[in-house]
Amino acid sequence: MIRLENIAKSYDGHKVLEGFSADIGDGETVILYGDSGAGKTTLLRLVLGLEKPDAGKIDTSGADFSVVFQEDRLCAYADAVENVTMVTKALSKAEAESELGRLLPEDRLHIPVCELSGGEKRRTAIVRAMCHAADAYLLDEPFTGLDEDMKQKAMEYIQEKTSGKTLIITAHEEWQYDKGRKIEIK
């Protein structure tokens, strides 16, 4: 369980979060949505321990996280397969190719990711995160740069890979996703 109690966070005197509380159960899917600057990314950074709240308590019960950040954070001159296997050592090259092949064309797997389109980089980042065995998956605007068909395909892949695990996704609007609880960040 992830428990957030009366979380407050400000930057340079500007309040981003104030009095935010939520309990996210093990295996639950939650969509955090709201306008740009509402605090969605900040909330994920707080859960991950990358930042500290100004007030409130966060309990992640020692969960192991896998993350898709807003920036893809890929190694530019490594190919997609290398980007996946370097962070998921238990995965063989053939397994990484198989996983990537679910979201990328085969002819794009072995070229440097700096030569991939924005959407292809995004899909590589998604596969990399999904191949890491974790308790909870935090995906910050994971569908940026994806058309509607690819967004749906990526979501199906994410659902399959995170079945029974905690999944938190941020979005700018109340995304049309029928599974999970939606929480608006204002």
Domain boundaries, the chain: 2-178
Render each residue's pLDDT in the chain as its tens digit; 186 residues: 999 999 999 999 899 999 999 999 999 999 999 888 889 999 999 999 999 999 999 999 889 999 999 998 999 999 999 999 998 878 999 999 999 999 999 999 999 999 999 999 999 999 999 999 999 999 999 998 899 999 999 999 999 999 999 999 998 766 656 677 888 888
CATH number for region 2-178: 3.40.50.300
Query: Whole-model pTM?
Result: 0.92
pLDDT for the residue numbered 186:
81
Instruction: Give the number of other CB atoms < 10 A from CB of residue 128.
Output: 26
pLDDT tens-digit map of 129-139: 999 999 999 99
Q: Strand runs (DSSP E) across the chain, as ranges?
A: 2-11, 14-24, 29-33, 55-59, 65-68, 136-140, 166-171, 181-184
Please name the helix (run of DSSP H) or strand (run of DSSP E) that holds residue 100, with its range, or none.
Answer: helix 93-100
